[in-house]
Structure 1
């Protein structure tokens, strides 16, 4: 769960506590948008009967929840996950970048508040590379389905990565077009 905000972590821990009853070897990584909230999130996890440790405390810890309360590691952590949740989307915070997990071919979950990434979110949904959820029940059901069906999880992840692949070279194409227009106008 990347770039999570206040109000979302409660939902995430509730969902994880339910899922871990069925999928015993699950591991959750929560990367709060505000890393200073690490201790509070570890305590919140404990309130849900979950054992959490904080990355800022160094090394590997004991537990099924890692609070990634450090900077600069989230993008690479997405490579390790089976599914990804995009924070700032179940609460009105305008969402965060769903392409970060998509680049690794991971199925993406996000809530209804994805205004800052509206076009990308629509494209991921249209390609079936993402799932939009509205509450804890939606999120739990969606993740459960993909954990139960590895072939479907891989298919959805491929669809997410397909969006990335389909847009490779777009920047270069735009630069070439701009140069062509500038050359025509004698400004290059």
Structure 2
């Protein structure tokens, strides 16, 4: 740990300081590209360690298409390539995949940072999909790009929400040699990222070259439209579409009986439940202090029977979050702990699994969508608890979901904090007034129902873009 921190300090102080990052000198560009390559290698190793890659995926990174995958692709006249960066984008592509498989006979290939997760998710839903990692390293050489594209034969490339992992070279060659259409789906207005690879992409003018390849871009807000116009996308190629996340949330998931979920988590049947989803390190202290305030209020017996469930955004953050919770005087119980026992208010249940949060939301009386309590965060999706009719609280920092928040706020279907000091009072009000909870939950569900329909619109566009 000491050496890891020492190396990080040296790199940040001498190699990635602001002077180097802002410079376009030969030395600065060399340093940035070297660090970029090292970050990619570290990312691949981490993905393999965390189970997001199979062994074959390590070869696919350099352009190798596994024989079994190649045979599946050869069974159709071409492929529809879906770029889905991570878990959220993979989930958002599910409704499109279902529709595409009824619309055409083309094979569907997902490229992602988490291909194994894409395989597991699509398989569990009975969908026939090939999943591959992004082909990073080989894309430096155009002959390898050509080889990769010749194997996949893409007739259309669908980019879910962003295009940051697809090199402009690939898009340009696909359009020139394979007459591939490019559809950008659910596009946002992205704030500038501090990550090194974004800086590199901007210096190489990759963004403008990517966006120049877009045939149709579906945007979720006027702000997103202006963002794309600034990168050279023609206004005639931009259409306004409701956020695809509204459709995604409506897909049925296997939700077990509420009482069974309570038993698995050790939640008494008479207890009320507060669930905090997508929690980032540092937010647990805010949530726990507010929770302690609520259950400690004198004369409010109904508040003493609340159980708190915390679902970290990423499993690798479990250890620091658990350590922080214990330092605040609470005990913890992991969801995977066996056998489950009845928990009191001072035992915090931690969801240490992936993909189960929507089912667990079903037992909530109140939901807090975290990732929004600290100023370096940009929010998480409030639609999943909304479709279940749950009253929702979010923090002040929801910039990544501005279009969605506008729709909920217009209907008073969500509570957005101006500061974290309000959290305890807002939680207490909701638990003390079931009629407010019911009204907010009904309004939130109505917003989701009214804003659905993006999938059909994108499928109609894709149908017109595909070869006849």
TM bracket, shorter-chain basis:
0.7 to 0.9
Residues 59 and 36 of structure 1: CA distance in aligned 2, closer, same or farther (over 3 Å)? farther
Q: Which residue of 2 aligns with 1:137?
A: 421
Q: Which residue of 2 aligns with 1:19?
A: 294
SS of match in other structure, 2:311: strand
Q: Which residue of 2 aligns with 1:53?
A: 333
Q: Which residue of 2 aligns with 1:74?
A: 357
Candidates 406, 413, 431, aligned match of 1:122: 406
Structure 1 unmatched runs, 5+ = none
Q: TM-score, normalised by structure 1?
A: 0.86
Q: TM-score, normalised by structure 2?
A: 0.37
Of structures 1 and 2, the larger Rg is shown by 2
What displacement does 1:121 show?
Answer: 1.1
Q: Which residue of 2 aligns with 1:157?
A: 441
What displacement does 1:3 show?
Answer: 0.8
Aligned-CA RMSD value: 2.3
Contact 1:36/1:69, CA 8 A, preserved across alignment: no
What displacement does 1:63 show?
Answer: 4.0
What displacement does 1:168 show?
Answer: 3.1
Aligned pairs, how many?
184
SS of match in other structure, 1:30: strand
Q: After alignment, is 20-29 or 53-62 more displaced?
A: 53-62
SS of match in other structure, 2:310: strand
What displacement does 1:66 show?
Answer: 0.4
Q: Which residue of 2 aligns with 1:44?
A: 324
Contact 1:3/1:32, CA 8 A, preserved across alignment: yes
Residues 118 and 59 of structure 1: CA distance in aligned 2, closer, same or farther (over 3 Å)? farther
Counterparts of 2:354 and 2:320, CA distance in 1: 17
SS of match in other structure, 1:24: helix
Contact 1:13/1:45, CA 8 A, preserved across alignment: yes
Counterparts of 1:85 and 1:44, CA distance in 2: 19
Q: Which structure is higher in RCO with an 8 Å CA cutoff and minimum separation 6?
A: 1
What displacement does 1:128 show?
Answer: 1.0
Counterparts of 1:50 and 1:118, CA distance in 2: 34
Counterparts of 2:310 and 2:462, CA distance in 1: 44
Residues 50 and 122 of structure 1: CA distance in aligned 2, closer, same or farther (over 3 Å)? same
SS of match in other structure, 1:27: strand
Residues 25 and 5 of structure 1: CA distance in aligned 2, closer, same or farther (over 3 Å)? same
Q: Which residue of 2 aligns with 1:113?
A: 397
Counterparts of 1:48 and 1:31, CA distance in 2: 17
Counterparts of 1:84 and 1:4, CA distance in 2: 12
Residues 170 and 15 of structure 1: CA distance in aligned 2, closer, same or farther (over 3 Å)? same
Structure 2 unmatched runs, 5+ = 1-275, 298-302
SS of match in other structure, 2:336: helix
Counterparts of 2:296 and 2:408, CA distance in 1: 30
SS of match in other structure, 1:90: coil
What displacement does 1:173 show?
Answer: 4.4
Q: After alignment, is 34-43 or 17-26 more displaced?
A: 34-43
